[in-house]
Amino acid sequence: MNRFTSARPASATGVASNVEERVQALLARMTLDQKIGQMTQPERLHVTPDEVKRHHIGSVLSGGGSCPGDNRPADWVAMNDAYWAASMEEDADHLAIPVLYGVDAIHGNANVRGATVFPHNIGLGAARDPGLIERIGRVTAREVRAAGVDWTFAPTLAVAQDPRWGRTYESYSEDPGVVGEYAGRIVRGLQEGDGGRLDGGMGRGGGGGDGSGPVRPVVPEGVVACAKHWVGDGGTRNGVDQGDTVVDEAELRRAHVAPYVPALEAGVLTVMVSLSSWNGEQCHAHRYLIEDVLKGEMGFGGFVLSDWNGVDPLADDYGEAAAAAVNAGIDMVMVPERWREFIAGLREQVERGVVPVERIDDAVARILRVKFACGMFERPRPAARRGSNSNGFGSREHREVAREAVRKSLVLLKNEGGVLPLDRGARILVTGPAAHDRGRQCGGFTVEWQGVTGNEAIAGGTSIWEGIRAVAPGAVLWGGGASCDENGAFGNAEDAVRTFDAAVVVVGERPYAEGMGDIREPGPVRPGTNHLPAGPGVLQPYGRTLELAALHPGALRTVRALAERGIPVVTVLVSGRPLVVNAEMAASSAFVAAWLPGSEGAGVADVLFGDHDFVGRLPMVWPGGVVSGRGRAGEVLFPRGYGLRLLGSEV
């Protein structure tokens, strides 16, 4: 007996005992238009509820930062209510099939104002705590459902190999073993939420090994998870986003496929394909990787989603591009704006026999299987669901989990003369551009796609400064930016500076997302990459180097200016990845990698003042010089796994 044949009686789950029967019965009633509609995912700004009904749309998404009304949970619930109601309005032309709404809740439901925003994955990888990851998944599921949303495009299972990649922070680690330890736990946390499993048994095995076997109905308490980006997104040459991962198959399986196994075993219901290529072949058209490996060999029984406009670069003719993606095994296509063109083009390709009807039926059956397995046909409209508009959204209980995650994510790289832990009674100067900036703490995919700076947009939570102020009455905040002039002078504050016992200087990167965070020469990545708003093929990377002193020279200036006046400096780095900080570290008495801690910056003070010890360990090699080749530093400053405790021993 395998785990997919143990269908529980309907009474136990509220969902029909045999999902497969329901799938096939509904599929048999569907027209080609209704089937292709189910495979189509527009973005909310480009589709109305009425169009969802008229075109039988199966899913709608919010791109990063695409938020309804005042961007509060109630606004999201109202929007989802409208889409759901339209999708369920059965008539002579339309079958009632509930629409699935998807968002990037990749570190909490961070699009929404007031959400609990967790550290990005790289910090969680430093924490080395799989149990915490599962709890984060459960809290995230609650805050996604509070918005009436059913599906998150998480977890990212990228195994980042080169810190020049703008999405390094979305990776838990450069070690596939660490990513694999987390993969199953985050999927369970997200899909189970607070109740019964939401795994639908779509994972490994599944009937005849092709993943099409009967699916165990589940109690819908979680949200649908999405393992991404299949496959090798973190291994591109020189870390170029959407670039080419040039490795042999053994290395691809070892480094990038491996973490998906525990995700499938945990029953992940959807997988998103990568915009990158493998040895020059686009993953979005890679039948071997999608149909043969993921669905065949690994037995994935859920459905496969394309990424944002992932079909565009596959062919000049849009219909042919759509056919290439669907024939490779993609079941649902994320076509934010060109969804009408997609529907017409795919229909034509089916009618010409380029896309077999059997492939369409398999795709739609997979989508229906997920919707039935999650009990979506039994769920009331979003506004009537338990959990919608929940007062647990952004609650203290949730924020405590996030604050624990911040504490555990911090990595102590230097602590000379025992300057840490800081004395609560000391006169402490706090400065630096990230000292009092909850937006910078959160990084990308927070309220906006590229993230935000400042505190206004991040409702709730604490900045690093607010955490310090709460425990150290003698602490003083100096200017958000550099607290000294370009010559390292403090002007008429020279005397005041010398009255401080220590300084905490919080520096690092501005928020970014995806290719906008790449470190490389500016200019087109490759022709035809036009899915980014920065314009066809041209996007501005973050910078040309990983050296902080070149990216943001104010940091070194401030640290040196204070140190030269005999003030011990604790430098806290807020960044999405390891940076080259040799000079800043040499001038600091203590140096802490804080990654992108999210909304609960007070977690930093918890450790700086010794309430908790450091337990974080580097999830990636820390480079000591120019990063070249496959992301391996010319010289390594600290190895993966390095991290100090307050008393100086290694974690």
Binding site for ligand GLC (CB under 6 A): 63-64, 104, 153, 228, 275, 307-308
Q: Which two tokens stand for residue 353?
A: 């026999």
Cis peptide leading into residue 452 (ω within 30°): no
Q: Which residues pair with 99 in a beta bridge?
A: none
Name the one residue in this structure whose structure tokens are 């008229």: 54
Looking at 58-217, list the stretches that DSSP marks H as alpha helix, in order from N- to C-terminal side: 73-87, 121-127, 130-145, 176-192
Distance between CA atoms of residues 48 and 57, nearest Å: 10
Distance between CA atoms of residues 467 and 601, nearest Å: 6
Q: Which is nearer to ligand GLC, 272 or 644 (CB)?
A: 272
Q: How far is the CB of 401 from ligand GLC (least distance, A)?
A: 23
Looking at 552-634, list the stretches that DSSP marks H as alpha helix, in order from N- to C-terminal side: 554-564, 582-587, 602-608
DSSP state of 636: E
Q: Which is nearer to ligand GLC, 81 or 307 (CB)?
A: 307
Q: Which two tokens stand for residue 242?
A: 């959407």
Q: How far is the CB of 290 from ligand GLC (least distance, A)?
A: 16
CB 440 within 8 A of CB 465: no
Q: Which is nearer to ligand GLC, 322 or 428 (CB)?
A: 322
Distance between CA atoms of residues 561 and 152, nearest Å: 46
Q: How far is the CB of 167 from ligand GLC (least distance, A)?
A: 8
Q: How far is the CB of 106 from ligand GLC (least distance, A)?
A: 8
Which of 312, 509, 514, 547 is labelled catalytic?
Answer: 514
Q: How far is the CB of 451 from ligand GLC (least distance, A)?
A: 14
Q: How far is the CB of 275 from ligand GLC (least distance, A)?
A: 6
Q: Which is nearer to ligand GLC, 63 or 528 (CB)?
A: 63
Q: How far is the CB of 208 from ligand GLC (least distance, A)?
A: 31
Q: Which is nearer to ligand GLC, 162 or 307 (CB)?
A: 307
CA angle 367, 371, 374 (to 5 degrees): 140
SS3 of residue 627 by DSSP: strand
Question: For residues 44-70, b (16+ Cβ closer than 10 Å) or e, as one string?
Answer: beebebebbbebbbbbbbbbbbbbbee
Q: How far is the CB of 614 from ligand GLC (least distance, A)?
A: 31
Kind plus residue range of the DSSP H or E element containing 22: helix 19-29
CB neighbours of residue 456 within 10 Å? 11
Q: Which is nearer to ligand GLC, 65 or 480 (CB)?
A: 65
Examine the residue annotation and report whether 514 is marked as an active-site residue of this protein.
yes
* Amino acid at site 117: V
Q: Which is nearer to ligand GLC, 307 or 312 (CB)?
A: 307
Question: For residues 90-120, b (16+ Cβ closer than 10 Å) or e, as one string?
Answer: eeeebbebbbbbbbbbbbbbbbbbbbbbbbb
Q: How many residues does the chain have?
A: 651
What are the CA-CA distances from residue 206 to residues 2, 8, 110, 202, 372 (Å)?
Answer: 8, 16, 34, 6, 16
Q: Which residues pair with 101 in a beta bridge?
A: 60
Q: Which is nearer to ligand GLC, 192 or 233 (CB)?
A: 233
Q: Which is nearer to ligand GLC, 230 or 614 (CB)?
A: 230
Name the one residue in this structure whose structure tokens are 């079909």: 311
Which of 192, 244, 307, 362 is labelled catalytic?
Answer: 307
Distance between CA atoms of residues 637 and 463, nearest Å: 29
CB neighbours of residue 495 within 10 Å? 8
Distance between CA atoms of residues 230 and 183, nearest Å: 14
DSSP states of 19-59? HHHHHHHHHHH--HHHHHHHTEE-BGGG--HHHHHHTT--E
Q: Which is nearer to ligand GLC, 151 or 300 (CB)?
A: 151
Q: How many helices (H) and strands (E) does the chain have?
A: 22, 23
Active-site residue numbers?
307, 514
